[in-house]
Structures are given as C-alpha cells and as structure tokens.
Chain A
Amino acid sequence: MSKQAIMAWEDLALGAAILKPGNAKELRTGDWRSMKPKLDEEKCIKCALCAMYCPEFCISVNAEGFYHPDFYFCKGCGVCANECPKEAITMVKEGE
C-alpha cells in the first residue's frame, strides 16, 4: 500500500482543525515567480505604497527605510512596480 497520508489519524487535532496560527508562512510561494521586482533606491521615496499594495504581504521596511520584498514569498506579480509613483521598481527576469 502506497503511503499518501500526511499524518496518522490519531495525530489530527479535533475535527481536523489547524492549531498553529499562520503556519502558511512555511510555504515557499516564491518559486511561482518568473519575474522579480528590482528596487532602485536612488528613486525610492520610501512612501510604502508597494508594501501596501503587495498581495503577498511580503514587502517590509529595512533598517535604512527602504521597502524590499521577501523573495521566499514574492510571486512576481508586478503590482509593486506598476503602483510605484516614482517608477523606482522594475520587473526583471528571474535569474538576471
């Protein structure tokens, strides 16, 4: 018999509930990406709109105040580049 199950039934929480809040952050969705955003810090005015509009909620501010995506999650949708009021973000091919 092939083993297909994630876990034994005895280990499931009551009613198959998920007890670890927000554990979807284990999931790497960055490998969906074919294009990636590249920030030109010269042009960036630190307005945070890219972070506000990121559907992956994966753009956060660094120590210098610049906003960068977490490439573990970034799916490369390009919304940040499209919405940047200063055109500081460009989409480049993954691996370039």
Chain B
Amino acid sequence: MGKRVGLEVSLAVAEAVKLANVDVVSAYPITPQTHIVEELSIYVANGELDAEFIPVESEHSAMSAALGAATAGARVYTATASQGLALMHEILFIVSGMRMPLVMTVANRALSAPISIWNDHGDIMAERDIGWVQIFAENGQEALDLTLCAFKIAEDKRVLLPMIVNIDGFTLSHVIEPVIIPDHAEVDAFLPPYTPVLRLDTENPVTFGPVGVPEMYTEARKQLEQAIIGSKPVVEEVLDGFGAAFDRHYKLVEQNGKPGAKTRFVTMGSLGETCMTAVDELVAEGQDAGQTRIRLWRPFPEEEFLAACAGAERLVVIDRALSPGAVCGPVASELKSLFYGRPDAPEIVNLVAGLGGRDVTVREFKEMFAMAVSGKLSGNYTMWGVESHAS
C-alpha cells in the first residue's frame, strides 16, 4: 500500500509522473518548477523511466514538442510556471483545440514586472480561457494524487482534453512534506495504458490542424465547449475512483468550518490550508465562520459550489491575482456571475491578497473576517496588505 516518506513536493509530482509511465517529457527550466523536470531527467538517465526527455530551448517549444508527441500517440508530460506559461500561451489553445490529453504541472508564480519568482495565481489566471481542465492542489499529497488522476481524466474518451494541475510555487513546490507514494502495481490498476483515438499513423493518415473556415470554426469551438463541460462528471468519477482505490478522498469543492456558516471564506490553492486554521480558531472563538475551497477551476463546478455555500450571507473571496482595471479579482468575478440574479445571492467581499509571495497569515485571515463582518471591506475589491501613506 505504498510507502510514506518525507519528500519535497516537486519530487512527489515527479514520482507521480514516473508512476504514470509517460512516454515523453518535454520541458524547459523555470523556477519554481525546475525540480520536477530535473528529477524526471534523472529517472530517464537512470533507466527508471522509459521515456524520451526533450530538453527544449524554450517553453514555447516545450508545449509545441509536447503537442507533437501527443499527436504521435504518446503519453506526454510537461511543467512550467509564470513567464514560461505565458510564453506557452499561444500553443495552449491549440492543444485543447486539437483535443490532445497531455498533462502539465504549473508551479504558480507571479508575472513580471517587476520580476518575481514567488507565488501567486497571476500566471494561471491569464490562462482561464485556454480550454484545459484546471485543478488546484492544496498540499503535497494532493499534488501527487491529482497528477495521477489528471492522466486518467485527460485521457478519458469522454474528455480528451489537456489538464493542468496547479501547485503553489515554493509554498508547495519546495516544501518537504510527508507523502504516501503508491506502488507501481496500484497505479497500473488505477491508470490504464493510453490508447489514442487519433494519431499520426502512416497506415491511417489524418490531417491534424487544418484551416478552420468560418463555416466550421464555431462548430469546432462548440465541440471543445461540450468536451470541457462534459469533463466535470468524469473528474468527479475519477476522484471518487481514486478515493476508493487509495482511501484519499477529493471533491470538486470542499468545505470546512461551521456547517451552514453565514460568513464563508472562499480560497483556491495552498492558502486554503492557512485559512482553514484561521477558520478553526474563529469557530472555536464562537464565530459563525466557514470556508469553501475550490479545487476544480475549469470547468467551474457551479452546482457543487452553490451547494457548498448554501445558507451563506457573505462570501469573503480571496483572489491571489490582480486583474488590473477589472471590476474585481478573477475568482470573485466568476462567483458574481454565478450568483447574478439568484435570490439567495450572498454579499461578495473580495480581497486580492498574497501577491508575489506575500504571506497571508492566520492572524490576517482573522482580521479579514472581522472587517468583512463589520462592513469595513466595501467596494468591489480590496488589495490586502498594501503599504500606503493613506493607511
């Protein structure tokens, strides 16, 4: 039943990729992702992983080579962060449009300028519309487990879409955590070998990536839309199946704190764990506090989120990214759209916090709670913790 070890989370992700028996890894170094692909290149060099490791000359080529390899019928993995993800931007749309189920880890990191190697979600929030299934891990075990699940979800014949597993840069990627690494046999039983539906095959020649004329482009986008909408039940099914096989259980949306709490934090990623501690303390202090954690970001789990927030009168939404000039942060924007016109719509208090590696502590979450409850966080959003002459 696997083994429990203390392991840097990046290496735990690499273990998952090795257990998935990938055929091709195509990657370019970028902090804080690099430890993952360094480890994979070691596995390949040692013969522990029978795969081709393509040390490409840029992230743009990392994604391009990954797509080429996937189209040739291989199980493919890559990882990136921040500027690297931004450089891939163009190709990300093509991968999903061509329905190639490769898996990528994004070790979330802020975008320049000024250059920052530290964590926030600015990189992935700029990639909301790429048509990939996108999920967020909160801890090391989850990073490993969701990576395994990602291959199974992406390659499911009902999905056939690429998938990103987000792990917070440094906060997760570089932290040593106790992690259970499953056995190869257990993983093989959970994750079947990949059999592509269409591939570059000289016996059955297919034209991939033709010119999308106006008479079919809309229909091609409809196909993609239906695929990503249809992926939600598959994500749920795979996570449930993983739970049954490994006894570690993951839902699309999680909740904690006081059941039915009127004021609930909404978090995504590793801040959720800090927030959880704050919520536990608040509840212990007699406060009406709860928390909803979004795990699946794309497709957005609407029903699950609404159910997890039933009875809430106020959501304190933490956005770890700034959408400059927008009405509010990206997550809050999503939630306002979701609640618009609903009679049970809660007040949405939005905080943009934790940018570029800025810590958000338990005490700060409790401060946010107090301010939100007393109506001191009005306006569309508040940039939390900004040092200013005005404050």
Interface residues of A (CB under 8 A from B): 4-9, 12-19, 21
Contacts and interface: CB of A to CB of B under 8 A. Distances in A.
Contacts, number: 59
A12 B283 CA distance: 53
Nearest to A19: B206
Contact of A15 (B100, B215, B216): B100
21 contacts: A4-B214, A4-B215, A5-B216, A5-B218, A6-B213, A9-B218, A9-B223, A12-B216, A13-B198, A14-B99, A14-B160, A14-B223, A15-B97, A15-B98, A15-B198, A16-B97, A16-B210, A17-B98, A17-B209, A17-B210, A21-B206
B197 interface: yes
Nearest to B215: A6
Interface in B211-232: 212-216, 218-220, 222-223, 226
B160 A17 contact: no
Interface of B: 97-100, 160, 197-198, 205-210, 212-216, 218-220, 222-223, 226
Query: 10 shortest A-B CB distances, which residue pairs?
Result: A9-B219, A15-B99, A18-B207, A9-B222, A15-B98, A21-B205, A16-B220, A6-B215, A14-B99, A17-B206
B214 A14 contact: no
A55 B306 CA distance: 61
A9 B215 contact: no
Contacts of B219: 5-9, 12
Contacts of A9: 218-220, 222-223, 226
B216 A21 contact: no
A78 B215 CA distance: 33
A8 B226 CA distance: 13
Given A14-B160, A15-B208, A17-B206, A7 B216 contact: yes
A5 B206 contact: no
Contact of A14 (B197, B213, B216, B218): B197
Contact of B207 (A6, A12, A21): A21
Contacts of A4: 214-215
A87 B97 CA distance: 51
Contacts of B210: 16-18
A5 B212 CA distance: 12
Contacts of B97: 15-16
B228 to A, nearest CB: 13
Contacts of A18: 206-207, 210
Contacts of A8: 219
B198 to A, nearest CB: 6
Contacts of B213: 6
Nearest to A20: B207
Given A15-B208, A17-B210, A5 B215 contact: yes
Contacts of A14: 99, 160, 197-198, 223
